[in-house]
Structure 1
Amino acid sequence: MKYFISDLDHTLLNEQAKLSLETIRVIKSNQLPLMLCSARLPRQMDPFIQQLGLTGPQVALNGALVFEGIGGDRRIQAKHAISLSIYQQIKELMRKKFPDYPVTWMDEEKWYLPRLTVDLTPELQYCQADDYIIGMNQPLNDPLLLLIVIPDADQFKAVFTCLQQTAIPEIQVVNSGDGYLTITGQGVNKGLAPQYLLEHHLAAPKEIVAFGDDENDLPMFKRAGISVAVANAAPSVRMQADIVGDTNDNDGVARIMERLL
């Protein structure tokens, strides 16, 4: 039996950030074992978990959090945080070199923004009002993921290169698509999703099928038995996939799932 792992945005979800009726039908009618693996907060994954009737482990924040259940019934299975001292180093580096881009952060519950900027304001339209808090200067506890939103491609490349070259070995810097530069602890990435299934004997390596569209999905591809890119995926992701399916708007994930049953 295949065990499926799928990214959400631009992969399992269509471009309206919704599950199509066909995707819901394929997953529910076949009772497919599915792990969602996203850069989103757990609370932003809850509606899709509920729609699909999923009961197994799910992965949020690019691998930093593994959980089961939704809302008040959520149970944390694994958590990988970034220390406050590392956060301070990154914040100070950004303040000196790229002051226009604040370092925001997430824990298992919310997204924290020190201040609003012209780049951050549009992103809030994708959030519910209780998903985020504006005006906190620094985390009270170790954050799970740092997020810097940089829509301009040249500026994104400059910040990305700077952070990759910094002498902070405890971090992993990832392009999560849509101008999202995410930072997690070293070794914390979406590859922890298939690793969790293997360590908990939920699937054999060859049974794991991973779906994705962007560079942050590649660690997941490397640990899966079969990797699948949707047709709208980044070229580098399509090149490294075992299978390239249809686009997310054409139910690419659901079609491949049915083919592999």
Structure 2
Amino acid sequence: MGTVTLAPVLPTTRPRLIATDLDGTLLRDDKSVSDRTVAALAAAEEAGIEVFFVTGRPARWMGVVSDHVHGHGLAICANGAAVVDLHRGRRVVSVRELPTATALAVVKELRTATPEVNFAVERTGGIHYEPLYPQFHLDPGAMVAPVEELLSEDSEYADEPVLKLLAHHAELAPDAFLELARTVAGHHAEFTRSSPSALLEISGPGVSKASTLALCCERRGIAPGEVVAFGDMPNDLEMLTWAGTSYAMANAHPDVLAATTHRTASNEEDGVAAVIERLLGLPPAA
């Protein structure tokens, strides 16, 4: 690993695309977008730099940016499983689904390794839960049932592609749970985490923020070296190592800090905006 830079250091040429995570990165802890950040993103787009929000959030939770930042084009949601058009009512324009047979194989492996695990299923139309899964964001119409029923071909939601499987453990430490899951079931699917709790996010083989961002960039003729990326949690790691220039937030997970050579201020201190201002030669906002 190269020498870590504590202050924002700029790429040698102006990027063509900025890819930023949301929670813990672009958003402040209260889930707001600061006026400084709104102004910086608008200035980037005015300068011809595309902005992609790249998040673990589903499309229906994107109002936090599409309503307040006027919808900066496309967003990559559900850790790469969906591309969403923020200009058209958060419409899902492409999906990289998790096959139900793969999800069921993961359920079997994890339940064998640690029977206390509980699951939720994120589909294009909403999320559905097992009875003991902590329902922090219970959407209207959510189905509550054993995960095998949630994934059944006979489910009333079976026509909606599965974006990701979520697994929660009430006792294991978050990183220990991730390591265990990758060990016993990593050959089936992609495992990552972005929550402070022991909550894993499971995507189809090869699906990640990085791989979907790479596809979007390829279609635009944008090379990795023309991308600047920002993140803070393990689900950002592949994206940060793929991009030509990447910044870990000061509040980032230790693995993210170890994997990146550039750092910026925390999400509470508008670290993304600080880098964009310097990229554009703008004076720092007061």
TM-score (norm 2): 0.79
Mapped partners of 1:163, 1:207: distance in 2? 34
What do the CA deviations read for 1:43-80 (whole angstroms, capped 9, x no partner)? 1013312321234221011111112136756141x311
> Aligned residue for 1:39?
56
The aligned amino acid for 2:220 is H
> Aligned residue for 1:176?
194
1:138 aligns with 2:132: no
Give the gaps of 5 or more residues in structure 2: 1-13, 281-286
> Aligned residue for 1:236?
255
Q: After superposing the two structures, state which structure 1 stretch, 27-36 or 60-69, moved more.
A: 27-36
Following superposition of structure 1 onto structure 2, how do residues 148-227 of structure 1 map, counting pairs within 5 Å? 148-150=167-169, 152-154=171-173, 156-166=174-184, 169-179=187-197, 180-201=199-220, 203-227=222-246
Aligned length: 253
Give the gaps of 5 or more residues in structure 1: none
Q: Using a 3 Å threshold, how does the CA distance of structure 1 residues 47 and 131 change in structure 2: closer, same or farther? A: farther
Q: Using a 3 Å threshold, how does the CA distance of structure 1 residues 259 and 153 change in structure 2: closer, same or farther? A: farther
1:28 aligns with 2:38: no
Higher RCO, 1 vs 2 (CA within 8 Å, ≥6 residues apart): 2
Mapped partners of 1:175, 1:41: distance in 2? 15
Mapped partners of 2:113, 2:119: distance in 1? 12
Which of 15, 40, 43 aligns to 2:29? It is 15
Q: Which has the higher helix share?
A: 1
Mapped partners of 1:168, 1:230: distance in 2? 28
**Shift in Å, 1:8:** 0.6
SS in 2 for 1:203: coil
Mapped partners of 1:99, 1:71: distance in 2? 42
> Aligned residue for 1:6?
20
Percent identical: 25
SS in 1 for 2:203: strand
1:68 aligns with 2:78: no
Mapped partners of 1:26, 1:34: distance in 2? 11
Q: Using a 3 Å threshold, how does the CA distance of structure 1 residues 243 and 37 change in structure 2: closer, same or farther? A: same
Q: Using a 3 Å threshold, how does the CA distance of structure 1 residues 93 and 128 change in structure 2: closer, same or farther? A: closer
Mapped partners of 1:88, 1:20: distance in 2? 41
**Shift in Å, 1:97:** 3.7
> Aligned residue for 1:101?
117
